[in-house]
Amino acid sequence: LAKTTQPISMDSYEGQEVNITCSHNNIATNDYITWYQQFPSQGPRFIIQGYKTKVTNEVASLFIPADRKSSTLSLPRVSLSDTAVYYCLVGDISNQGGKLIFGQGTELSVKP
Amino acid sequence: ETGVTQSPTHLIKTRGQQVTLRCSSQSGHNTVSWYQQALGQGPQFIFQYYREEENGRGNFPPRFSGLQFPNYSSELNVNALELDDSALYLCASSLAEGRDEQFFGPGTRLTVL
């Protein structure tokens, strides 16, 4: 199973774009890259998922280079409410008995 | 459409006791997973149930057991509680198909004294 490495914490200010990079050097061919967001005292919430190149939805963008050994979650113009822990997950859930494998995540703090 | 709900919100037990946590899956979802999240850590997979059968299990001892009912609600049972079992217990529901996202409930905060 691919191990992920991401920064433990990041600080930003309201209105800025935030990019959180995740390294996953031993990603397998069938693995997808998924990002979850977790607010204090709540369960994680799915943000975005991708396999390669770029994926964009109403919340974020996910950039994946051709070698797929890293990925970057981009949050445009963050607000105070984006303060949360962001988890990068890599795997083929259909081959993992439904198991999502979470690392320690990146604690994002957005300041006014 | 209702989301995933869990009960109780908080629970305090003493070492050696048994506890049952409950989860109601999101409407239309037939798969439920349970996770344990210690303070400052990411959630750790306990097990998954699909159509009332255990479908996958993480590295947790047998005193962690579960049930899934025909209406797809679920229970997590923990026997012989230990201090290290103190954590946030999360339930997540999903469709059985592999790459669907999992929808998490708010969790049950268990404290073992």
Question: Stretch B45-56: mean pLDDT, rounded?
Answer: 89
- The pLDDT mean for chain A works out to 92
Q: Residue B100 has what pLDDT?
A: 58
Judge whether residue A74 has pLDDT over 70. Answer: yes
Output the six-digit token pair for A53.
């190149």
Share of chain B above pLDDT 70, in %: 94
Least confident range of A14-23, B34-43, B96-105: B96-105
What's the rounded Cα separation, in Å, for the pair A42 and A37? 10
CB contact under 8 A, B105 and A43: yes
Number of residue pairs across A and B with CB atoms under 8 Å?
Answer: 67
Residue of B14, B15, B48, B35 lying closest to B106 (CA atoms): B35
Judge whether residue B97 has pLDDT over 70. Answer: no
Distance from CA of A6 to the nearest CA of B (A): 13
Instruction: Please answer whether residues A10 and A107 qualify as being in contact, where contact means their C-beta atoms are separated by less than 8 angstroms.
Output: yes
Question: Stretch B77-84: mean pLDDT, rounded?
Answer: 98
